[in-house]
Chain A
Amino acid sequence: MGLVGAAAVSGVAVGFVYGMLAFSIVLLFKASGIPNFAQGNIATFGTFIVYLLAARAGLPLAAAIGLGFAGTAALGVVIYLGGMLPRGDAGTLNLAIRTLAIYLLLFAVMNLFWGVGQPFAFPRFLPAASMTVAGVSVSLLSLVTVAAAVVLGGAFWLLYNRTATGLLLRGIADRPEVARLLGADTARLSGLAWLLAGLVAVVVGLLTVPTALLSSDMMDSFFLYAFTAALLGGMTSLPGAFVGGVVVGVVSNVVTVLRGQEISILAIFALLIVILLVRPDGLFGHGVVERL
């Protein structure tokens, strides 16, 4: 198998990280119709909360992680209430631009208050163990990542398929007026989607920092890759987000090993353009018919 094989395997693992970030983007898109350009920075923000509580305030890591989840979920709700709900009918592009402004805002806050001396080494919470499967070395982090993705996917599958709230979350972006007629409180559902997206973001951040240093810009490439994964999966398909993430992860890791980081970024960009041209609705998406 050699280097390329190992790169492909670790690509699957990192692909699940992209997949989870893509998943949170898709979940929000389905529930509110907003493509969230700030999702990567929300993940970084949540990771910073955990870092500050654990490494600076000296809290036990488990408590810090718990508070990190709570804080980031709250951040999601605050962004929704403060940034998306006022004049929420201004159109998709306007709302997308708001998320871009929030991207800048979160970045500036992290730089201003926590950025001095970054990047930081995150406290180790997983042993750097690895095992060899069929001649390929697989790290514990990779296994944990895949396990986290499975648990997350399973939990959301149950939410979407077994609860009335989940059913509404799946569909309100397509037909908000129908959801409203059915008596759904769309504002509350959108808020819930932002909260859930915040929770998933923290998982993404925590699975990223064991191999990358913590800095305010650490999610920039992740975020673009995740968006590519989401589009590859069809932007409305939650399993598609994971499939897209794994494709992006494997391609980027293998090309990095063969030709270096710079070419791998170009390769993913080319992948994005090709997907959008060949299958604008992605692998699992469905087209939208415009009424005239």
Chain B
Amino acid sequence: MFAARAHGHTLPFALAILAVLAGLGLLPIDQGMRFTVVLAMSWGIAAVGLDLFSGYLGLANFGGFAFVGIGAYGITALRSEAHVNVVVALLLTMALAALLAAVLGAAMVQLQHFGAALTTFFFAFVLFNVLGGNTLDPITHSENGLAVPPLSWGPLDLTANGPWLYWLAWAMLLATVAVTSNYANSRAGRALRLLKRSEPVAGTLGVRARLTKLGAFVFSAVVAAAAGLPLSLALGYLAPETFHFGNSITLFAMLVVGGIGSLAGPLIGALVFTALPQLMQGAGAAEALLFAAIFLVFVIALPDGLFGLLDAAWRRVPVPGGRLGRPRPLAAVADPPPPVEGDVLVAEDVTVVFGGVRALDGVSVRVRGGTIHALVGPNGAGKTTFLNCVSGLLRPTGGRIAVAGRDVGRSRTHQIRGMGVSRTFQNPSLVPDLSVLDNVRLGLYGSHRWSVARDLAGGWASRGRHRVVDGLAAAALERVGLPAARWDVLASELSLGEQKVVDIARAIAGGSRLLLLDEPTSGLGDDEIARVADLLKRLRTEHRLSILVVAHNVGFVQDTSDTVTVLDFGRVIAEGEPDRVIADPEVMTAYLGVAEAGAGVAAG
């Protein structure tokens, strides 16, 4: 994934740039300069939209400009050939871009490694060839290109030389910045950043990974297609060469140089990359060399881009009382699903085979409602594999798992989260560039109904829901005992102990009936371990939460657990009450590495 961090709440920066552009539009600047800024703003629209996909989700898209080409050609062809009204043409073309992106994206979001990078690059190559080829000749006129009909709305002249095209491009850029910022800072935007961090973790928090990624890709494509309108009007003439696949790399370079994952950065990048050629009049190939060199230097030395420099300078200015608002007051308390009488988890004969290895070999575990059950065993015994089966990250080869009497069967991770199963991971997978509170909000992803339209519309439309979610997140943080002063800190600044506690808060925020904890004490000091033990006992007695905890520390297990299962080489070798189980000779041998029973002392 991309090394650069994503930034939240960068709208003021982007609006400041837009204000400067508005001022520039009011000045009596010459025609050439106006033209350049219109081009820059068109590129800026596409760059800001692309930033959502590449900056926040962290996937490469080396074919972003292809969708600008689809937009420009689509809108122009509809206007000149079919004589469609420009607004209708814009909307139809955006719909076409959405459709194409959905088809391409449906394949792309399933790809691993750099599949996305290659397919998008290839797509831009295909589009360039199709625009210059014969297949779509009746629409694209192949190498001859398309003349863009002039446009005016009443007295407003929107042709390349008209004064109002500048304001059309500006207004579209403003709209793009506003909508993209809402997207990036909404629930969906936080989910993108979580997916960037870890897809399995996102799944266990109820995020539908493929759909969420697809949404971001389609969004970027639709925004890029819209950029085709001001671009086509400014150019007055479209040729395949204008949408050469190399331009998609230039678009990506704008993101990197400007500062990926910041919205304002790509805007800066678009302005810089479009304005420089104007300053270096006609240098052609030398200019391309300079751009490539700048691009390379930024990727290596300044992966956070110009925005990163700006942000670092800004952070050095001290602000009394912190930059974000004070922690929100508690407004609501999570209402967990009613505690289960009897067994909350019944796993029978669960078997997992990796290649020739039986990672789990007929493991049966029962967890009674409202109790803490520990899963112990040496490294490689299959403890995490078992948790993965329960949370749906791994499909057992055989056996049966039921939660609160319902068969987990072939359910996907986010559906299992919906049954009230939540978990933490051995390495706390918090999103490093989100605040503690935002990270806990992610835990509420699956448990409340949302609408993408409201997310895009921004704060007002989803205000009521935000209040509920903020209250639940704050309640979870209070419950795990993290001081309110730490709620607005970025997760990357937390100690390991704090991270583990926030991870637990995130897991219980959405209302949990079975909490799976993978080594909540590993790497912690004695004080911190004692604090985690107290927390688990409190969750059990005060909130009747059922907990299945993987642990190494014998003292911790004896202190917290009601029952224990011991695994060794994928098999259950003992189960029952902690004190009795730990005294078992076979357990002594396997778990403590003691050859003769009684020779060693069970250490805390």
Contact = CB atoms under 8 A, between A and B. Distances in A.
Nearest to B59: A93
A104 B1 CA distance: 22
A261 B132 CA distance: 12
Interface in B107-152: 107, 110-115, 117-119, 121-123, 125-126, 129-130, 133-135
A112 B107 contact: no
Contacts of B60: 93, 96-97
A276 B303 contact: no
A158 to B, nearest CB: 29
B2 A93 contact: yes
Interface in A89-103: 90-94, 96-98, 100-103
Contact of B296 (A35, A98, A220, A261): A98
Interface string A271-290: 01100110010000000111
Highest count of chain B CB atoms <10 Å: which of A86, A260, A277: A277
B300 A292 contact: no
B125 A97 contact: no
Nearest to B429: A292
Contact of B112 (A104, A280, A292): A280
Interface in A183-227: 220-221, 224, 227
Interface stretch (A7-15, A60-68, A138-146, A262-270): A262-270
Highest count of chain A CB atoms <10 Å: which of B117, B135, B286: B117
Interface stretch (B248-256, B372-380, B522-530, B589-597): B248-256
B489 interface: no
Nearest to A106: B292
Interface in B259-287: 285-286
A107 interface: yes
B295 interface: yes
B119 A224 contact: no
Is chain B's binding surface mostly helix, strand, loop or mixed? helix
B5 to A, nearest CB: 12
A289 B393 CA distance: 12
A122 interface: no
B125 A221 contact: yes
B200 interface: yes
B167 interface: no
A111 B388 CA distance: 54
Nearest to B110: A277
B301 interface: yes
A112 B289 contact: yes
Contacts of B198: 292
A59 interface: no
Contact of B246 (A104, A231, A273): A104
Given A262-B130, A276-B119, A292-B426, A104 B295 contact: yes
Nearest to B123: A269
Highest count of chain A CB atoms <10 Å: which of B3, B121, B354, B425: B3
B207 to A, nearest CB: 15
A115 B58 CA distance: 36
Contacts of B113: 35, 92, 235
B300 A86 contact: yes
B296 A262 contact: no
Given A108-B289, A221-B125, A262-B134, A91 B3 contact: yes
B291 interface: yes
Nearest to B426: A292
A86 B298 CA distance: 12
A105 B3 contact: no
B427 interface: yes
Given A97-B60, A231-B118, A280-B111, A269 B292 contact: no
A37 interface: yes
Nearest to A34: B114
A197 B388 CA distance: 40
A109 interface: yes
Contacts of B111: 276, 280
A221 B125 CA distance: 8
Contacts of A112: 285-286, 288-289
Is chain A's binding surface mostly helix, strand, loop or mixed? helix
B62 interface: yes
A98 B288 contact: no
Contacts of B118: 35, 224, 227-228, 231, 272
B522 to A, nearest CB: 13
A239 interface: no
A100 B249 CA distance: 8
A272 B58 contact: no
A88 B285 CA distance: 29
B384 interface: yes
Interface residues of B, number: 58
A200 to B, nearest CB: 20
A176 interface: no
A87 B289 contact: no
A224 B245 CA distance: 12
Contact of A273 (B119, B129, B134, B303): B119
Interface string B418-429: 000000011101
A108 B294 CA distance: 13
B402 interface: no
A221 B122 CA distance: 9
A220 B111 CA distance: 23
Contacts of A277: 107, 110
B129 A265 contact: yes
B292 A101 contact: yes
A224 B292 contact: no
B78 interface: no
A280 B296 contact: no
B107 A101 contact: no
B293 interface: yes
Contacts of B427: 292
Given A90-B3, A109-B289, A224 B425 contact: no
Highest count of chain A CB atoms <10 Å: which of B114, B123, B429: B114
Nearest to A100: B249
A227 B118 CA distance: 8
A174 to B, nearest CB: 13
Interface string B1-18: 111000000000000000
A83 interface: yes
Nearest to A268: B122
A163 B1 CA distance: 34
A35 B129 contact: no
Given A93-B114, A272-B119, A108 B301 contact: no
B388 A292 contact: yes
Contact of B62 (A98, A100, A228, A235): A100
A102 B113 CA distance: 20
A98 B299 contact: yes
A7 B41 CA distance: 47
Contacts of B110: 276-277, 280
Highest count of chain A CB atoms <10 Å: which of B112, B198, B292, B295: B292
Interface in B386-407: 388, 393
Contact of B107 (A90, A105, A276, A288): A276
B121 to A, nearest CB: 7
Given A103-B249, A292-B427, 12 more contacts: A90-B3, A90-B300, A94-B2, A94-B303, A104-B288, A104-B291, A105-B292, A108-B291, A227-B118, A231-B115, A262-B134, A262-B135
16 contacts: A83-B296, A83-B300, A91-B3, A94-B303, A96-B117, A97-B2, A97-B252, A100-B62, A101-B299, A104-B246, A104-B253, A107-B246, A262-B133, A272-B122, A280-B110, A292-B426
Closest 10 CB pairs of A and B: A262-B133, A104-B292, A112-B285, A108-B289, A101-B296, A105-B292, A108-B288, A101-B295, A90-B3, A111-B285
Interface of B: 1-3, 58, 60, 62, 104, 107, 110-115, 117-119, 121-123, 125-126, 129-130, 133-135, 198, 200-201, 245-246, 249, 252-253, 256, 285-286, 288-289, 291-293, 295-296, 299-301, 303, 354, 384, 388, 393, 425-427, 429, 518
